[in-house]
Amino acid sequence: MNKKIMAIGLAAALLSACNSSGNKTDGEVSDNPFLSEYTTPFGVPPFDKIKFEHYKPAMLQGMEEGAKEIEAIANQTEEPTFENTIVAYDQSGKQLRKVQIVFSGQNSSNTNEDMQQLSREMSPLLSQYRDNIALNPALFARVKAVYDKRDQLNLDKEQSKLLEETYKGFIRGGANLSADDQAKLRDLNSQIAMLQLTFGQNMLKETNAFQLIIDNEADLSGLTDALIANAASDAKKAGLDGKWLFTLKNPSIMPFLQYSDKRELREKILKGYLMRGNNNNENDSKDVVKQLVTLRLEKAKLMGYEDYAAFALEDRMAKNEQNVYALLDEIWTPALKVTGQELTDITSEIKKEGNTFTAEGWDWRYYFEKAKKAKFDLDESQIRPYLELGHVRDGAFYVANRLYGITFTPIKNIPLPHPDAQAFECKDNDGTHLGVLYMDFFPRASKNGGAWCGGYRGQTYKDGKRVAPVVTIVCNFTPPAEGEPALLSVDEAETLFHEFGHGLHSLFRDVHYDGVSSVPRDFVELPSQIMEHWVLEPEVLKVYAKHYQTGEVIPATLIEKLDKAGKYGQGFATTEYLAASYLDMDYHVLKDLPANKEQLNLDVVNFEANTLSKRGLPSQIPPRYRSTYFSHTMGGGYTAGYYSYIWSEVLDADGFEAFKETGDIFNREVASKFRKYVLTPGGIDDAMDMYKNFRGKEPNTTPLLKNRGLL
């Protein structure tokens, strides 16, 4: 079918769907916040006025307008130029992006059944919309015409990169495929998008479904007062007055595994965690994983690649799977050795108690905590009182101010994405507005697990003026006990700094085109992970680590203990991470489709077990993410890319050395170079060139191995 007819047909179908939905009468259009300019402070989305019924008509209208914009570009009679084709394409679809960015953010952090159903309803339409653009022959012909004469256009660096990325995007989107293969690609893209969506929804349901209810106070033995108080509060909210409720949210399960004296309860909650998506119920994701791996491989083959990893890695720093495995293997062997030493310590602690059982997964965190206390006279309960959430947040602000001179000021009377969220204005060192930062810290049933940094408006330019971003940081930290402030673990404090680093990347970005705003997946964690290096620096701790009751600055003796214990436990942390990275890669280097191209002969549980056992992972350490709740790869985003964290850690560990080498971790000259060459240019430069422009050389793995205590 002619692609012009298809696009016009889609626009007509969208208009029909919109009109027939009953959601887009003339009166309601004028009341839909997405269909007019925002009049809120700093132009943030008017969350207080956005209703569920606004999303669908706004998305439908956005697709309709976007389809018309694409047709106008593709069918104009003027000779293709950089401005009338490449820039026009880059600026198209803004109405759709305006609503999608809000819907996506809310669907992750404040979802409900209606929103999840709407996401399923819109998924095939959005997939068709994207494919109609990527596979529009007239549009691609114009893009190719501009690309073919690129050496004659006298473009600047940013314009050249936009042209290159636009052309490459069309090629990777299937523009060069035959008509039959393009039809196959459309079907594959639609199926993959729906399966990824299903995977994420299954995971949220499985996480929310599990409850460990304790009604005997003796079964709380070993747990901290704060954890017990939170469990009582959660139970009360669930209508279980007088009991204690523990869940699979990290602030509940992780300290439970760390402190509970009841081995059988630790086993129960860990098994509940590990079995998410693998319970042979309506939310089981084993078949979803099998289908996803199959369809991704089929897509890669269709695009001319031997496996999906080859397709995914082509435009990343790693370039190919051999380089990924080489890095993982280099770290795996020393990490496994350290893990063996940690297991010996854990076994020793078990014997000290007169027990003879062999350590299992539900024993690791519990006995590791005892081993750490025995070795360093340190446990987490000593640290938490000094890590009050507001102080840690302000510590991150302090570091950013010392490095870059920027400030964060609370904003009042501004719409919030959720009542729990906080809002801040970020100003540059000259007082100019850099952007708005939202922070949303605590878990709830409507929020996905984990932590992330997203946005409700990306940085761009309009009429020659910079449009500042609206950034959001979303976490699932330990909530405060009633009447008490929220006290963080060291890991949670590092998470806050990590996500804040992503936030700085978004706030500092300064590019003129959406098409060059992104960096490769295995570079994107550099800005976040380098921020973690400041969290436990004594100079920084003395600023923000103050006792929540007395205001006392964290004692030097405790800082010394933290420093000595800092590398302890890296065997476990590294191997559980690497195990998940191997799992992700192993799925996506599969190369052989079955003859009928229906599904790979893949038993997900056995495949995972084989991946881990052949590399010698101790049975006590499951991968950080098992297949059926591995949203980074099965939900999309980090597909054949979970290795990115360790790849970026090579960069961040080496990069922090640039500060340490000057003797000043706040060296403004080094910080200025990091901002200029890493945080500001988006994807205008090659990722390794950006790093070398900052550092003056390529990185090596030695600082990473030292930081993790693996050398």
pLDDT in tens, 451-483: 999 999 999 999 999 999 999 999 999 999 888
Tokens of 70: 């694409």
Please say if the pLDDT value at position 561 is more than 90. yes
Buried b (16+ CB within 10 A) or exposed e, 72-81: ebbeeeeebe
CA proximity to 80, closest of 150, 23, 32, 33: 150
The answer to whether the CB of 36 falls within 8 A of the CB of 99 is no
User: Does 27 have pLDDT greater than 60?
Assistant: no
CB under 8 A, 24+ apart: contacts of 266-273 = 266/362, 266/363, 266/366, 267/360, 267/362, 268/212, 269/210, 269/212, 269/362, 270/361, 270/362, 271/362, 272/210, 272/212, 272/248, 273/210, 273/248
- State yes or no: pLDDT of 23 exceeds 90: no
**Angle at which helices 361-376 and 321-352 pack, to 10 degrees?**
70
pLDDT at 595: 58
Is residue 462 classed as helix, strand or coil in its secondary structure? strand
Q: How far apart are CA 68 and CA 428, in angstroms?
A: 39
In this prediction, residues 395-419 reach a mean pLDDT of 98
pLDDT at position 699 is 95
pLDDT at 481 (0 to 100):
83
What pLDDT was estimated at residue 16? 39
Strands (E), 553-688: none
Of the candidates 305, 332, 331, 333, the residue with the CA atom closest to the CA atom of residue 319: 305
pLDDT at 381: 87
pLDDT at 503 over 70: yes
Residue 28 pLDDT > 60: no
What is the pLDDT of the chain when averaged over all its residues? Answer: 94
Q: In the predicted model, what is the mean pLDDT of residues 558-565?
A: 93
Residue 599 has pLDDT above 80, yes or no: no
Q: Which residues pair with 440 in a beta bridge?
A: 474
The H or E element containing residue 214 is strand 212-214
The model's pLDDT over 138-167, given as tens digits with 9 standing for 90+, comes to 999 999 999 999 999 999 999 999 999 999
The DSSP code for 466 is E
SS3 425: strand
**Percentage of the chain exceeding pLDDT 90:** 93
Residue 279 has phi, psi (to 5 degrees) of -115, 10
Q: What is the pLDDT of residues 297-322, one digit of tens each?
A: 999 999 999 999 999 999 999 999 99
Domains in the chain with CATH codes:
3-176 (1.10.1370.40), 210-274 (no CATH), 321-356+569-707 (no CATH), 384-565 (1.10.1370.40)
Quick one: pLDDT at residue 600?
A: 72
Average pLDDT rounded to a whole number, residues 413-435: 98
The predicted pLDDT at position 377 comes to: 94
How big is the chain, counted in residues? 711
pLDDT of residue 249: 95
Catalytic annotation, residues: 499
Distance CA 468, CA 44 (A): 10
Report the candidate in 317, 199, 194, 189 with the shortest Cα–Cα distance to residue 625. 199
Tell whether the model's pLDDT for residue 21 goes beyond 50.
no
Question: Mean pLDDT throughout 425-444?
Answer: 97
Exposure string of 9-39, with b = 16+ CB inside 10 Å and e = fewer, is ebbebbbebbeeeebbeeeebeebbbbeebe
% of residues, the chain, pLDDT over 70 = 95
Q: For the segment 41-79, what is each residue's pLDDT rounded down to a tens digit?
A: 999 999 999 999 999 999 999 999 999 999 999 999 999
Q: Return left, alpha or beta for 154; rule: phi > 0 is left, psi -120 to 50 is alpha, else beta.
A: left
Q: How does pLDDT run across 618-640, given as a tens digit for each residue?
A: 999 999 999 999 999 999 999 99
| pLDDT tens-digit series, residues 319-378 | 999 999 999 999 999 999 999 999 999 999 999 999 999 999 999 999 999 999 999 999
Mapping DSSP onto H, E and C, the string for 109-141 reads HCCCHHHHHHHHHHHHHHHHHHHHHHCCHHHHH
Return the SS3 of 408: strand
